A and B are shown apart, each in its own frame.
Chain A
Amino acid sequence: MTDAMPVGDRKPLAPPVDETGALGWVRKNLFSSWGNGITTVVLIAAVLWVASWFLEWALFTANFTAATGAECRGGGACWALIREKFRYIFFGSFPYEQHWRPLFAVITMLAMLVLSADRRMWNWRLLVIWGVGSFITFLLMFGQIHIPLSLILFVALVCGGIGLTLRSALAAPSERMAYYALVGIGAVGLVLRMVGALPAWSIAIAPLSYVETSLWGGLPVTLILATYGLAFAFPYGILLALGRRSNLPLIKGLCVGFIELIRGVPLISLLIMASVMLPLFLPSGTTIDKFLRAQVAVILFAGAYIAEVIRGGLQSLPKGQFEAADAMGLNYPQKTLLIILPQALRVVIPPLINTFIGFFKDTSLVLIIGIFDFLNTANQALVDPNWAGFPGEVYLFAAFVYFIFCFSMSRYSKYLEFELNKGTRR
């Protein structure tokens, strides 16, 4: 018993070296048995082999400087093609000397999206960000903007209407008077405009040369179609979802009919309808801008899908929430905007962003109606016979750009879920 150490002096032994640290992790996860060990070795070899082949092709033997496609042949990837064509791929047939305009339009749109991704901006600031951002974007793209009188009157009417429904009980008399005034000016003005008493007057802001939508191309087109497609489809989808749950049979029927009709056909058929059938129904000589037709088709289509996603969120809310809101004496718009939607939308953020990502990529379908979105300009770069035969490089480049956008959206969705669920997390 003399060799026994006193209890207090005993030192805990360190675990064996192959049980902890990096070595332990490798042993536990990769080589825990003969079978796992062999699988690990084979997979590592395969990954290394593919990676070395890819790097050899994409980097070490790649040609970055060739002046023509012929010089590029024989080696690895021909990135010189991208160097030669990247301005076209990004901006399409927008006048070449004016490429700074779509460039800054893209930057503006990205800034607008990044700013509105921040939750601190989710108040009146969002309105300013989108108003100013959209104005700059379209001013850069069009070069000139004419704001017709009827649009100004319409905006006044809508703003007054929203103010009245939401703040009727809270607003001071003077504020309420202002809303009434807005509605009155808007309504009377629109009626006068319709009967022709007011002239077709418009504010012209024209600092740059006019560039029509048929010349737009590349990344700005993809971003505009996706951003504004979803920005309009989102409120529209909410209205559809609310309408589908309405007690009024007519509204409910219309919404269900619309959603099922749109969901029953592929986007491509809607685009073809908009570009092939619609012009035949319009009176001869009247054409609606092709870009606008595609944009509207995207909005209608996305709206139906978003409506179904949001309906899922609405249905997940317990009945007590609706009843509590009623007990508070809130009217329908107040109940919906203040109680129901904030909770319902939080639930559906993951599927909603999933829909957004899907639609961002679906906008590339506009190539079948001859609109040059980003994928289509990339396609077009392949047509040039001087740079023939490098489809892999161009499509990889396009895929890379799409990946950047879709991956950021997916990361943002993750962050948003975390942020919005703080209240329910322990």
Chain B
Amino acid sequence: MLKKMMAGVVAVGLVGVAGTAHAGKDLDAVKARGQLICGINTGVAGFAQQDDKGKWTGLDVDVCRAVSAALFGDSEKVKYVPTTAQQRFTALQSGEVDVLSRNTTYTLTRDTALGLEFTGINYYDGQGFMVPKKLGVKSAKELNGATVCVQPGTTTELNLADYFRANKMTFKPVVIEKVEEIRAAFYAGRCDVYTTDASGLYSTRAANTPAPAKPDDFIILPEIISKEPLGPAVRQGDNQFADIVRWAFYAMVEAEEAGITSKNVDEMLKSDNPSIKRILGVTPGMGKALGVDEKWVYNIVKQVGNYGESFDRNVGMGSPLKIERGLNALWTKGGLQYSPPIR
């Protein structure tokens, strides 16, 4: 029996696909491969999620698509590698992915000691509070004496304590390690308040509200008590590639500011505005400076959309998550999204 079993499992097809991820310059490797490898989250509503056909969509996914559009003129030349929180930096450092666009907080130590290079901030997140609507609370300042569900050992827990102390309020923490159990505890009414990053609150509200209740039965309070700037990152060492990733995202923001959308981009090609002509490559120069095709912004906006469109489609009012623009509005509208000029 042993002989048969042993011989029976001679692997015909299980041949490891070992290859080279980057040879010298990252950009050369990506171009030679003809495909961008993008590290994303394994699944978080609105930022990286798979539809019924297994296609990835989301705000973070759109950054990958924009880079692909800038490099290849085609937003679909991306291979998505879902990474977990533990894996993500190794995947980038070891060359398994070219870009990490996976709601990762931009911090000093990650930018320096980990050898990463953050190329922008595609979502300004921060810690917020979610409460049931029937509690009648309108502001975090009214939460004195509340029971709060929070994950232990996180900056979230520390921020929470600081915020309540600073406002001379008290709270009773309900400390639970696993995020699923926290949600369950919150929806079962074991605590009045659930606190984590606001984007997490929105997606929990949209995706995890148990069936009889509706997402609208819960509100997210306006106060944001910490800074969590989330952005794409690349490896240090290939500045030209980092520039392309950086400007592919800025182009989306700049396009929104200039009023260029995926719908009107073709008409905008005929615009007389010198700034728009420069952005869309009608007046050449920008693409050459960046080392990509002159129509790079046109391709990004045509295929992916500007930042506002991407936000709205994935996490904003056009999606079930219904996240307000808030800090992520353009600087001209009171937010923080600001692109250096493309000139």
B 15-55 to A, binary, CB cutoff 8 A, 1 in contact else 0:
11111111100000000000000000011111001111111
A73 touches B212 (CB 8 A): yes
B50 touches A88 (CB 8 A): yes
A 79-95 to B, binary, CB cutoff 8 A, 1 in contact else 0:
00000110110011111
A228 touches B14 (CB 8 A): yes
Contacts of A388 in B (CB 8 A): 45, 206-209, 215, 320
A92 touches B54 (CB 8 A): yes
Known A388-B207, A388-B208, A389-B210: A287·B5 in contact at CB below 8 Å: no
A280 touches B93 (CB 8 A): yes
Nearest-CB distance from B111 to chain A (Å)? 19
Q: Contacting chain B: which of A1-9, A243-251, A259-267, A376-384?
A: A376-384
B8 touches A130 (CB 8 A): yes
A385 touches B9 (CB 8 A): no
Contacts of A383 in B (CB 8 A): 43-45, 49-50, 207
B42 touches A384 (CB 8 A): no
B52 touches A341 (CB 8 A): no
Partner of B45, one of A96, A158, A370, A384: A384
Candidate in B209, B210, B213, B320 with the most chain A CB atoms within 10 angstroms: B320
The answer to the question of A368 belonging to the interface, with a C-beta cut-off of 8 Å to chain B, is yes
Partner of A235, one of B2, B18, B50: B2
The answer to the question of A253 belonging to the interface, with a C-beta cut-off of 8 Å to chain B, is no
The answer to the question of A111 belonging to the interface, with a C-beta cut-off of 8 Å to chain B, is no
Docked pose: A103 CA to B44 CA in angstroms: 27
Contacts of A228 in B (CB 8 A): 9, 11, 14
Interface residues in A351-381 by Cβ distance below 8 A to B read 367-370, 372, 376, 379-380
A289 touches B13 (CB 8 A): no
Contacts of A288 in B (CB 8 A): 16, 18
Contacts of B16 in A (CB 8 A): 288-289, 292
Q: Contacting chain B: which of A184-192, A210-218, A321-329?
A: A210-218
B9 touches A287 (CB 8 A): no
Partner of B14, one of A116, A277, A295: A295
Interface residues in A370-423 by Cβ distance below 8 A to B read 370, 372, 376, 379-380, 382-386, 388-392
B 57-92 to A, binary, CB cutoff 8 A, 1 in contact else 0:
000000000000000000000011111101100110
Docked pose: A190 CA to B162 CA in angstroms: 67
A96 touches B54 (CB 8 A): yes
B94 touches A126 (CB 8 A): no
The answer to the question of A342 belonging to the interface, with a C-beta cut-off of 8 Å to chain B, is yes
Docked pose: A139 CA to B200 CA in angstroms: 41
The answer to the question of B211 belonging to the interface, with a C-beta cut-off of 8 Å to chain A, is yes
A166 touches B3 (CB 8 A): yes
Contacts of B321 in A (CB 8 A): 385
Contacts of B2 in A (CB 8 A): 235, 238, 336-337, 341, 345
The answer to the question of A107 belonging to the interface, with a C-beta cut-off of 8 Å to chain B, is no
Docked pose: A232 CA to B52 CA in angstroms: 34
Nearest residue in A to B90 (C-beta to C-beta)? Answer: A276
Nearest-CB distance from A362 to chain B (Å)? 17
Nearest residue in B to A132 (C-beta to C-beta)? Answer: B12
Interface residues in A56-71 by Cβ distance below 8 A to B read none
B87 touches A370 (CB 8 A): yes
Nearest residue in B to A129 (C-beta to C-beta)? Answer: B8
B5 touches A231 (CB 8 A): yes
Contacts of A122 in B (CB 8 A): 1, 4
A 334-349 to B, binary, CB cutoff 8 A, 1 in contact else 0:
0011000110010000
Partner of A126, one of B5, B13, B15, B215: B5
Partner of A88, one of B7, B52, B87, B91: B52
The answer to the question of B165 belonging to the interface, with a C-beta cut-off of 8 Å to chain A, is no
B43 touches A369 (CB 8 A): no
Nearest-CB distance from A229 to chain B (Å)? 11
Nearest residue in B to A97 (C-beta to C-beta)? Answer: B53
A289 touches B21 (CB 8 A): no
The answer to the question of B306 belonging to the interface, with a C-beta cut-off of 8 Å to chain A, is no
B 293-319 to A, binary, CB cutoff 8 A, 1 in contact else 0:
000000000000000000000000001
Partner of A369, one of B84, B94, B203, B208: B84
Contacts of A166 in B (CB 8 A): 3
A131 touches B12 (CB 8 A): yes
Contacts of B213 in A (CB 8 A): 389
Partner of A234, one of B5, B23, B50, B84: B5
The answer to the question of A286 belonging to the interface, with a C-beta cut-off of 8 Å to chain B, is yes
Docked pose: A126 CA to B95 CA in angstroms: 41
Nearest residue in B to A236 (C-beta to C-beta)? Answer: B6
Docked pose: A74 CA to B6 CA in angstroms: 55
A116 touches B8 (CB 8 A): yes
Known A162-B3, A379-B43, A384-B51: A389·B211 in contact at CB below 8 Å: yes
Docked pose: A228 CA to B45 CA in angstroms: 33
Contacts of A391 in B (CB 8 A): 208, 210
Known A235-B6, A295-B14: A287·B19 in contact at CB below 8 Å: yes
Candidate in B2, B49, B90, B213 with the most chain A CB atoms within 10 angstroms: B2
The answer to the question of B138 belonging to the interface, with a C-beta cut-off of 8 Å to chain A, is no
Contacts of A376 in B (CB 8 A): 42
Nearest-CB distance from B218 to chain A (Å)? 12
Contacts of A275 in B (CB 8 A): 87, 90
Contacts of A137 in B (CB 8 A): 13
Nearest residue in B to A387 (C-beta to C-beta)? Answer: B207
Docked pose: A287 CA to B42 CA in angstroms: 20
B17 touches A212 (CB 8 A): yes
Contacts of B212 in A (CB 8 A): 73-74
Candidate in A96, A367, A382, A386 with the most chain B CB atoms within 10 angstroms: A386
Contacts of B9 in A (CB 8 A): 130, 134, 228, 231-232, 235
Contacts of B96 in A (CB 8 A): 279, 287, 290
Partner of B53, one of A88, A130, A380, A386: A88
The answer to the question of B172 belonging to the interface, with a C-beta cut-off of 8 Å to chain A, is no
Candidate in B23, B84, B93, B203 with the most chain A CB atoms within 10 angstroms: B84
Contacts of B210 in A (CB 8 A): 389, 391
B82 touches A279 (CB 8 A): no
Partner of A385, one of B5, B45, B54, B83: B45
Known A231-B9, A345-B1: A370·B17 in contact at CB below 8 Å: no
Could you show 5 A-B contacts with beta carbons less than 8 Å apart?
A122-B1, A280-B94, A286-B18, A370-B87, A388-B320
For the complex of A and B, the 9 pairs showing the least CB-CB separation, nearest first, are A138-B13, A93-B54, A279-B94, A385-B320, A130-B8, A96-B53, A385-B206, A235-B6, A231-B9
18 additional A-B pairs beyond A134-B14, A287-B20, A295-B14, beta carbons within 8 Å, are A73-B211, A73-B212, A94-B54, A116-B8, A126-B8, A131-B10, A142-B13, A212-B17, A235-B9, A279-B95, A284-B22, A287-B21, A288-B18, A289-B18, A341-B2, A383-B207, A388-B206, A388-B320
